[in-house]
A and B are shown apart, each in its own frame.
Chain A
Amino acid sequence: AQSVTQPDIHITVSEGASLELRCNYSYGATPYLFWYVQSPGQGLQLLLKYFSGDTLVQGIKGFEAEFKRSQSSFNLRKPSVHWSDAAEYFCAVGVSNFGNEKLTFGTGTRLTIIP
């Protein structure tokens, strides 16, 4: 079964600084990988996804992520954070089989932005 580890529970970054959120996964084959963002009281919004091909994927709001098979990682990056990026970020791995399409999420990383 697949699993996801987000080792950082809480990260604080100054506005304008760069950001990297870590994600490691465990899965026997090439996974489908996702990053979602959740603001307080809101549902999950998809930031970006990796299915195949180019290992550097671009997403919305200026985010990008790099799939590294050798490290089983899919870290999320942003060159310069904005105060509105403060939220909870979830990495997820998915399997696409008819009858079993569930996502497995990490425990999340809470991002705080300081002025």
Chain B
Amino acid sequence: NAGVTQTPKFRVLKTGQSMTLLCAQDMNHEYMYWYRQDPGMGLRLIHYSVGEGTTAKGEVPDGYNVSRLKKQNFLLGLESAAPSQTSVYFCASRQDHEQYFGPGTRLTVT
């Protein structure tokens, strides 16, 4: 039981490049989330999903897209990366009360 995993762990992008962050969970959770965390800003919700095939916008969705084609996977896409998207990205899944986080992806956009 791996819990929540994220790929990749680190990435450096140039401005304008695109990439996809992958989140996978093996706990059969319905809810999945993508957050970004920046110094002094706390966790900010980007997008979330309440089940397979559904997605919704969170607090800071601009510049990101998501897909949840399979229940266990939640993908976060950056179509044209900007330096303001330099951050640590956390994926999480939840069933009932406890939310489980992945180890994070450290993304730098130069």
A binds B: no
- Chain B residues close to A by CB (< 8 Å): none
- Chain A residues close to B by CB (< 8 Å): none
